[in-house]
Chains A and B, each alone.
Chain A
Amino acid sequence: MKHIDEYRDGALARSLAAAIAREATSGRHYQFMEFCGGHTHAISRYGIEDLLPPNVQMVHGPGCPVCVLPIGRIDDAIRLAMRPQVTLCTYADLMRVPASGGHNLLRAKAAGADIRMVYSTLDAIRIAATELDREVVFFAVGFETTTPPTALAIRLARRKQLSNFSVICNHVLTPPAMRAMLGEPGGAHVRVDGFVGPAHVSTIIGTQPYAQFATEFTKPVVVAGFEPLDVVQAILMLVRQINEGRHEVENQYIRAVTADGNLIAQREIAEIFELRPSFEWRGLGELPMSALRLRDAYADLDAERRFEVATVAAADNPACECGDILRGLKKPADCKLFGTLCSPETPMGSCMVSAEGACAAHWTYGRFRDRARVAVTVTVADKAFA
């Protein structure tokens, strides 16, 4: 398939892997964080760990929108959806995210709440335009990537004078979360030698916002696409920066990302949204200036104001390690619940829900690595390096 196969080429992967193995100096440990869930998924889906030498390790970051959404916000969604006049529209990922008291949106739907899974914000607009007697609320989640489509829906609702449409905004920002990964002085944080920087997010915000990590924290950042070759090439670029003592923002994803990003999208976002002073992230806690809300000019389209949503903070299951996993401090298999009480069928924590979550990716693609390697597994690895 054109524009796909060339980014998944096994022969090219082997030559890049050989370059990494050659250049990753023995006796030195390289620990890189892929910020995005999309990268986590690609690493697991294509078995990229098998292509890396033992001294090059990847740490999964918090860039999974579903995973970082705190329980209280899911509770809000369920409470809203249970109102008889409300139709809640959401991306399907959110349906199984555990809320307080063992609830989730899927169960609320079964109990009679009108919850519709949509592929696009435009589907939600369509529902609002055709079902005028329903209060259609779009539950907006995601990083900078999914913010422009929400902005577009708000614009359309305004233009079409859809008084029955509103948005509950949970959009969050990438750079504050990356800062949180590097930690406040003295706080517990994982060692990160460099970042595989966001792919789709960077198409919107560009590469400039990462300059602070290169200058202030002296960490190299390589913005990379979500295809497996993108990831492997980015890792090689990071190894080279470290070896050469550089800490720069480099762009591996030149086919989609520019330094300035998508200015039209940025303008739309700035026009409709403003920064929240603070927002709670699952696993990372309250992060200042890390999330968006609707500006006063769009208050009529803000479901939080229309329905007077007052988020009640709710605690995670105490045995769930999602918090430490999201901060890269623990691996999925370190959690006592992993694969016992917590699996994609019965997720206890959010990292097990989304396909981009570190736990779900490890469970779905990589958990065979947790056992003592049997002869079979070694054969696979041999083949990979043949």
Chain B
Amino acid sequence: MARINSAAQLEKVRKDIVLKKDPNKPCIAICGGIGCLGGREDLIRAFEKEIKKQKLEGKVDVRVTGCHGFCAQGPNIVIYPEEICYTKVKPEDAQQIISETVVGKTIVDRLVYIDPNTGEKAVHQSEIPFYKKQVRNILGMNPKIDPKSIDDYLAIGGYSSLAKALLEMKPQEVLEEVKKANLRGRGGGGFPAGLKWETARNAPAELKYVICNGHEGEPGAYMDRAIFQGNPHLIIEGLIIGGYAIGAKQGFIYTRHDMPRLRENIDIALEAAREHGFIGNDILGSGFDFDIEVHLDVGIFVSGEASALMRSIEGKAPEPRPKYTRTAVKGIWERPSNLNNVETWANVPQIIGKGADWYLGIGSEGSKGTKMISLSGNIVNSGVVEVPFGTSLKEIVYDIGGGIPNGKKLKAIHFGAAMGGSLPAELIDTPLDFDVMSKLGAAIGAGGLFVMDEDTSMVEMNRFFLEFLADESCGKCVPCREGIRQMLRILTRMSMGKGKEGDIEALEELCEVGSLASLCALGKTTSSPIYSSLRYFRNEYEASIEDKGCTV
């Protein structure tokens, strides 16, 4: 492929790709997410074999895509052009699907999703309640593209936002657009991305960096890898636009080492982007140079923390440093380094492409756009969902998530795993909103929503979170290292019903010291789940002292 040197060339390439594609050619889109295939390839092989067997080579495509979202019903497939959706597909179903649906154009009833509440059949994704209430501006692209094919991404308008930014806008204008859209960081803090970009842009330095944080170490959070593995070009496009706005010529992608398919898709995407001239010198003839390097986390939670991550890119052990100066001013090699997470970067192309005014029309007062959420725990439909900010937790848990399994009652909704907070069932009408939820003590975090049913003991849950953090703390600063150890000791005792008088007060004191005196976010927010559960479930802590036995 020759490199593309102008907006006109990009449009021509896109037109040629679209013209070459026959919209009526049958295609079986198999979800290649880990929840659907679990590391196996037998479903893909079964379809390929069956196509050969029925002499349909070249007439039917098989597309292995990123996560479709509905992991609970996986493996999921969608058959184009009719967009027929089958769930829980097994390799032995391939023969029937090809002969009856792809060739015969009839529906295989037993593979169609049935709404357990109404008994109604849902032949298309849009009819399934799980998908119906979502607004899938980002995730919706996943079933439509092969993440290994840049042509698929170009066909749906890929890299046109980059062309617009580089060729029609000044860097300052790109920055203003992102600021106006009030894009807030999706990695946990909800800090306005535009302000961070501005800090990095204004920092006086020749060399600056932009970083995509794809570490996603928070247990129960898996939406970033769903979009990164399924649509890597989207994130790459966002990162290049960010580099342009900030004045950085070098980008870094920091991602997981333990997901070979994710890494493979990123590498293939970067190479294709380089061949097409979206990365490299004089991108699209604009005079802007930009390159991207991939770094891998090697298995420790704290390396997702911004300053630790930057040290890791420098080749050092990822210990956080005190942030007297922001990393946007002094980060990698003491140079301005703007870090945002995968989902934040994924939002950038649509903000530039469709404009801040369009973006401001989605979401709540203070939180704009959509949010990807991964549902896990005691919930019927676990999986990845995308909803506009402002959607109530009730809609997410019940309408989309299908409620609590085994006829149990909801006890709490937990966000942000070991550094987040829990809301009791009574607060189910709370809207998904950075500020509202922060005030209630359960910050959205990265977007892992964990559901607990009535059988859950909050004391035991918090003990579990501390056990995780005790393992993952880097051990550099005392309040975190020793504080977690002491809190874990107390909670272990309490979870066995052997709490002592004064334990709750000691916990509160340790929480306070840890949150004030720790070096990084890991130590500072260790206390969050304990604070929130003491706020809403204090009786359980008290019971584990008085009654000499956990309430649940």
Decide whether A and B assemble into one complex: no
